[in-house]
Amino acid sequence: MSAVATRRANGQHTSMFLRMLMRAAILRRGRAASALLAMVVAAAAATAMLNLYVDVQAKLRKEFRNYGANVVVVGKDGAALPQAALSTVDAALGGRGLAVPFAYVVARTSDGQSVVVSGTDFGQVRKLDSWWSVTGWPQASRDALVGKRAAAVVNPQAKPFDLSFQGRTLHLNPAGTLSTGAAEDSRIYISLQDFENWTGVQPSTVEIAASGSPDEVNAVISRLTEALPQAEVRPVRQIMEGEARVLGKTRATLLASASLIILTAALCVLSTLMGWVLDRRRDFAIMKALGASERLISSFFAAEAGALGVIGAVVGFVIGVAVAAWIGRVNFHAPVVPRFNVLPWIVAGSVAVALISAVLPMSLLRRVQPAVILRGE
């Protein structure tokens, strides 16, 4: 019999507890809504910041790959690379990067001037060296891309011209002019197939843009060194160090801003919720006067704060993901992928802040006699 009584008492207890929670939320809609709003704003800000912080690195790395190759493979002492070098490099990259072969010879023009001619894969170069300013890319066989300074020497009138290498002559049509401000300006680029048919020389250099973090790039370098013992594999320090530096500073700035924003949002939640709980000291006093235990009252307020924290966190997470996606679209022209693994952290953080802001005023109120509060003093 006593078991039934206990169960009934517990049952009623639970339903009364839930009813109090529900009524408190419904009767004081305005206050509950403003507390919830603060919670949602804080959770949304935290979600957006965490999502961005994780994703911005990848987004910026992609931008930095526009600087071109970060790894170079060259044959030792200027020797040609083995036939299968390019496929070896592609295999080592595993699809996460771009590899472009270059072959070089010094040829002579019809009036005896020396000029460097390079054979390459134009489709790949276009992707790797996006800064090349080109008036027209070669399409057909025997089309040439002529460097700006080479053009002034080789074919000032942009007419077809002849080049000779070891007695063999090649007739070329200039398809466009290339301008980079560096050594490329003095060279003539033709397709690798034309180049090999003409000179029989194999590529001596492969320029590689390996994507990923410094660790991943270093892994690619060590894989390549192992796979190509007859070649020299070296990182382009200029590109890798510049990237690391700028990325590091940007991330630090982002982290500082993110922690500032999250901190403010959390403190505002704290102040709003504390106001809310203090505002309800009359409820607190009535409950106490009616004989509720301190533990019951504490757990009531804690449950309320917890519910607020969870709801605020989930709504805020959705909004935060949307904000991060919007920032990604506007700034990087690629959406920021939502990271659901930050959700538990957001929920935990929100509930923690909510609990702190409920418990702090509780300890203040506990010392006060219910009669004093009910008299309105």
Partner 1 sequence: MFFRLVYESFRRQKRRKALAGVAITLGVAVATAMIAVATDVGDKISRELRSYGANLVVTPQEDTLDLQIDGVDLKPPSDGAYLNEADLPKIRGTFWHHNIVGFAPMLPVKVSANGQSLTLLGTYFSKKLTFGKEEFVTGVRITHPWWKVQGAWPDDESQDVLLGESLAAKLALKPGDEIQIGSRPHRVSGILSTGGPEENEVVAPLGLAQQILGKPGTVRRLYVSALTKPEDALARRDPKTMNAELFDRWYCSPYVESIAYQLQEAIPNSHAEQIRQVAQNEGTVLARIKGLMLLLTLAALLASALAVSAAMATAIFERRGEVGLMKALGGGNASIAALFFVEAMLLALIGGLVGFAGGAVLARQIGRSIFAAQITIDPVLLPVILALAVIVTFAGSALAIRRAVKFDPVYALRGEG
Measure the CA–CA gap between 39 and 310, rounded to whole angstroms.
9
Q: Of 89, 92, 116, nearest to 103 (Cα)?
A: 116
Q: Which residue, 38 or 313, is less far from partner 1 as judged by CB? A: 38
129's enclosing H/E stretch is none
Q: Which residue, 14 or 331, is less far from partner 1 as judged by CB? A: 331
Smallest separation (angstroms) from partner 1 to the CB of 17 = 23
47: its two tokens: 């979600």
Q: What are the backbone dihedrals phi and psi of residue 139, each rounded to the nearest 5 degrees, phi first?
A: -110, -50
Q: Which residue, 7 or 234, is less far from partner 1 as judged by CB? A: 234
Dihedral angle at the C-alpha atoms of 12, 348, 346, 353, nearest 10 degrees?
A: 90
Total residue length of the chain: 377
Q: Of 243, 199, 213, 233, nearest to 74 (Cα)?
A: 233
**Side chain identity, residue 55:** D
**Side chain identity, residue 270:** L
Smallest separation (angstroms) from partner 1 to the CB of 167 = 19
Smallest separation (angstroms) from partner 1 to the CB of 87 = 22
Q: Which residue, 13 or 76, is less far from partner 1 as judged by CB? A: 76
Q: Which residue, 9 or 334, is less far from partner 1 as judged by CB? A: 334
Q: Which residue, 296 or 318, is less far from partner 1 as judged by CB? A: 318
Measure the CA–CA gap between 55 and 127, rounded to whole angstroms.
23
Q: Can you tell me which residue has the tokens 């197939």?
A: 193
Smallest separation (angstroms) from partner 1 to the CB of 68 = 6
Q: Are strands 187-191 and 114-120 parallel, antiparallel or unpaired?
A: parallel
Q: Of 272, 236, 248, 243, nearest to 354 (Cα)?
A: 272
Q: Of 14, 36, 8, nearest to 308 (Cα)?
A: 36
Smallest separation (angstroms) from partner 1 to the CB of 100 = 14
Q: Are strands 114-120 and 97-109 parallel, antiparallel or unpaired?
A: antiparallel
121's enclosing H/E stretch is none
Smallest separation (angstroms) from partner 1 to the CB of 140 = 26
Q: Which residue, 268 or 352, is less far from partner 1 as judged by CB? A: 268
Residues paired with 146 in a beta bridge: 177, 188
Q: Which residue, 28 or 296, is less far from partner 1 as judged by CB? A: 28
Smallest separation (angstroms) from partner 1 to the CB of 373 = 11
Largest interatomic CA distance in the chain = 116
Smallest separation (angstroms) from partner 1 to the CB of 170 = 18
